[in-house]
Chain A
Amino acid sequence: MKKDVILAGVGGQGVLSIAAIIAQAAISRGLAVRQSEVHGMAQRGGAVLAHLRISDTAIASDLVPQGGADLIISMEPVESLRYAQWLSPQGALVTAADPFVNIPNYPDLEAILNAVKQFPEHRIVQAAAAAKEAGLPRAVNMVMVGAASPFLPIPPEELETTIAEQFKSKDVSVVEANIKAFRLGRQAAEQGPQS
């Protein structure tokens, strides 16, 4: 078994925290993991790309080969399309519906979402609304972990345990809101493609 994941977003959106949760949960399942991150200048409001590889056998490269990804998780619609050449013909694309506009030439959102809808397996998740519903607007990335979870070789309970562990130093309400955000994201993805 191997699952190769591309994570996309804009610097500051919490792409690395999504990668870290999934990686930690995979490690807890005894799986081999390699997770490549972006630090330094690229993080400053620029496009961010992270690679996450999960396998039950040894992994050679830190980077996912093009055409090899089983899943793209994106915090943002434009960024979800930027790394399409990494996705295998059968791969899934899961993106938050909410645009992050910090460039003057952000394209027409409708056209971008229509492009996402061409992907054979895709999910467009109202992540900001779900996080708000969970009671913690900044838990958008946990919504996205949830939305990606049906495509991951990790049981949701394991991911929830990892999330709880991650926030254990915080107030119990923060833990609960993050878990709720995760569940709302998972539900949304299980309902199939939507806009």
Chain B
Amino acid sequence: MKELALLGDEAVALGALHAGVSASYGYPGTPSTEILESLIAEYEKGGPLAAWCTNEKTALEAALGVSYTGRRTMVTMKHVGLNVASDPFMNGALLGIKGGLVLAVADDPGMHSSQNEQDSRFYAAFAMIPCLEPRSQQEAYDMTREAFDLSERLHVPVLLRLVTRLSHARAGVAPSEPKEQNPLAKAEDKTEWMLLPAYARKNYNALIEKQKDMLSWSEAHRVNKLELDGRDTDLAVITTGTGGNYYEENLDDLASSRGGKLPARLHIGVYPIPMESVRRLCEKAHRVIIIEEGQPLLEERLLGLLPQRLTVSGKLDGTVVRSGELDPDNVRAALGLMPRPSVKADIPALPGRPPQLCQGCPHGESYETIKQAAAGLESVVIAADIGCYALGALPPYSVPETIVCMGASVGMAKGAADSGIKYAIGVIGDSTFLHSGITGLIDAVAANTPMTLVILDNSIVAMTGCQDTMLPSARLKDVVLGIGVHPDHVIELEAKRQLQDENAARFRTELEYPGLSVVFFKRECLEAFRKRKKQEAAKAQSSGNPETGGTV
């Protein structure tokens, strides 16, 4: 088949399609979003089902249902999404997976667009399931296909770990022959799918039993390549994932710095850790340098707790950068090589240019209104949440005081109110509210907490590229009323500059109300508006009505 130029994420999507996936689910999150976006585009052209879900947990649970009925299924999310899905994830490992179930989880070392840099390989190890870590777009395609086969062979979920630089880099991918979807065929033994204690004990033992098969698979895997012949076995290098690419980028200079003799090396791309290969690599070594993208998983396991003759160098002893993503330059430094010379120029001090809310963004208006309403008040806490509106933490707005995780604004405002803060304010976006803010609001309803929840309703999941929210904006008010917020204190305001004084005064009244209020600030995201107009124009054009198309 013809070679295609694909993003890592797109390569995963194509791999899933060619593996015969029947249904894919996910929640948008950088850098994973484009996987499901590609699959949804295929679905809209008649391909297998692909759909966004309310959150990562519901997405994974739907996937478990697909697997139970014998079909192949994929779930996509960013690393922190796996925290949300961790309950079905940990329990899913104990099930007798029928149709291949692959979790494509994209980590964001360097936090380009994230709250932390957790390493999903730890989750795979925690759940005792295999993990595949591609380091090229071709591997992303091939490993996705392999992950489905492996999942069905070992009857476990399989985690495909991606990182930003792979997800969002484009390179040539040569696809292979597509496979048909599995027929609908329910799992035969339902005790493998019920985690009642008696069954769960049996299933957990079965998972432990499978570890031997996982290990022999990983030991024999062609990607876990051990290079000993003709190498200097006194110094060993272990690379994992994209760390291997940055190592190889410096290979020529490393060889010439060592008189042409390269260190012994093991690259690891699939887990569990191939222990025998690690032992063979380190047999004669005095020092091993570990270059892994993410947190020091391998390094911690190699170090253990007791002193040993081998010097283990990596993130923990400062040889490799402890935080942020790896790159050709910090890996170069870890190998003891001098920086390459760069152009000589006298560069003046440059101002930073941080990301910011778009010109005319409704969130900017909403923050100005909140600021105006809260001006002069004592005892205020403003807990915000995850989304574009987090950018309101920067000047000129500087409104949020806390930003932690999806939905935390609601619970934190409640906690601040419980603790004695008079004006406890939560600020959350529409999609984030549906994702995991709603449960916190139920807590506040139950306790009639004196707090004000602001829902910034811009009708779209803006930050990740304007995906539709799970419920249209028109339904959100009913949701809030339905869980019992008093109708007199469910307020809808239009986030427009010319209404700012009026809105601020109305908002101030709700701040003073000693009970629970929910205030919607509503206005469509500018990007969503443009996207909608474009789609409407395209639709008008395709339906052969150029006049309508021309009016937008």
Contacts and interface: CB of A to CB of B under 8 A. Distances in A.
Given A40-B113, A119-B345, A107 B249 contact: no
Interface residues of A, number: 55
Contact of A106 (B7, B245, B351): B351
A37 B7 contact: yes
Contact of A68 (B242, B245, B340, B355): B340
A23 B165 CA distance: 17
Given A82-B350, A86-B342, A41 B463 contact: yes
Contact of A36 (B169, B344, B352): B169
B391 A84 contact: no
B351 A78 contact: yes
A118 B347 CA distance: 9
A88 B340 CA distance: 8
Given A44-B355, A84-B347, A111-B348, A27 B5 contact: yes
B44 to A, nearest CB: 18
B343 A119 contact: yes
Given A24-B5, A66-B329, A107-B351, A38 B112 contact: yes
Contacts, number: 164
A86 to B, nearest CB: 7
A92 to B, nearest CB: 10
A81 interface: yes
A174 to B, nearest CB: 15
A35 interface: yes
A89 B344 CA distance: 7
B341 A62 contact: no
Interface in B144-190: 165-166, 168-172
A37 B137 CA distance: 14
Interface in B288-331: 327-329
A103 to B, nearest CB: 6
Given A42-B113, A44-B355, A115 B171 contact: no
A115 B33 contact: no
A11 interface: yes
A105 interface: yes
A39 B339 CA distance: 28
B169 A37 contact: yes
A76 B5 CA distance: 28
B353 interface: yes
B340 A66 contact: yes
Contacts of A111: 348
A61 B246 contact: yes
Contacts of B345: 81, 84, 115, 118-119
A41 to B, nearest CB: 4
Contact of A23 (B30, B113, B170, B339): B170
Interface string A89-123: 10101000000001101110001100100111000
Contacts of A27: 3, 5, 172
Contacts of A33: 5, 170-172
B550 to A, nearest CB: 12
B245 A60 contact: yes
Interface string A144-178: 00000000000000000000000000000000000
Interface string A34-73: 1111111111111100010000000111111111100000
A107 B350 contact: yes
A43 B343 contact: no
Contact of A105 (B165, B351, B463): B351
A65 B112 contact: no
Nearest to A112: B348
Nearest to B464: A40
Of A36, A64, A106, most buried by chain B (CB within 10 Å of CB) is: A36
Given A36-B168, A119-B345, 6 more contacts: A35-B5, A41-B30, A41-B355, A41-B463, A46-B355, A81-B348
12 contacts: A39-B113, A40-B463, A41-B112, A45-B357, A60-B249, A64-B328, A66-B328, A84-B343, A87-B343, A91-B343, A93-B343, A119-B345
List the 9 closest pairs (A to B, CB-CB), nearest first.
A67-B340, A40-B30, A40-B113, A46-B355, A65-B328, A67-B342, A62-B169, A60-B248, A44-B355
Interface of A: 10-11, 23-24, 27, 32-47, 51, 59-68, 78-79, 81-82, 84-89, 91, 93, 102-103, 105-107, 111-112, 115, 118-120
